[in-house]
Amino acid sequence: LMALPLELLALSHKNVFFFILLPDFLPLKCNACGEVFCKDHIRYEDHKCSSAYKKNVQVPVCPLCNTPIPVQKGEIPDIVVGAHIDKDCKYNPAQQKQKIFTNKCLKPGCKRKEMMKVVCEQCGGSFCIKHRHPLDHDCKGSSRPISKAG
């Protein structure tokens, strides 16, 4: 075997030299180009892998419906996602933004709605916070309104 100067090792990317000089060298095969590298050069960027595009694939996701959108080689992801949004997207804005305030006040003239149902204990009607007490909605549930305040 021929002894190589250490300066040559530092400048070389051909890790065959490491097999000879470094007893703890663990050869790692790049899964894209098939070349053998040391642990310091196994990443695509570290050995400037010309086949990285085969493995380094990212699939864009539609921002509206969260569906992965397949992109073919040579296609621009933004254009493919835009085309999906224009014709194939299953996004339903009505489904996304459901109404929260659905409980309408039964007091005549009041248009308020509440998130939670506020039921009068005497008449069983649904009212807004402002008209929840029997005295505030002219309750007809009993002959006289009962105040629970002390």
- 36-37/28-29 β-pairing: antiparallel
User: Which CATH code of 4.10.1110.10, 3.40.50.150, 3.30.565.10, 1.10.3720.10 fits the domain covering 99-143?
Assistant: 4.10.1110.10
The two three-digit tokens of residue 123, written as one number: 């008449």
Q: Which residues contact 71 (CB under 8 A, 6 or more apart)?
A: 59, 60, 77, 80
Sole residue written with tokens 């694939």: 57
Residue 103 tokens read as 């409980």
- Residues 28-42 pLDDT 10s: 888 888 888 888 888
The whole-model pTM stands at 0.32
Mean pLDDT by 10 residues, the chain (150 residues): 43 46 69 85 85 78 89 84 90 65 92 91 92 91 56
The domain locations on the chain are 6-55, 58-97, 99-143
d(CA 12, CA 9): 5
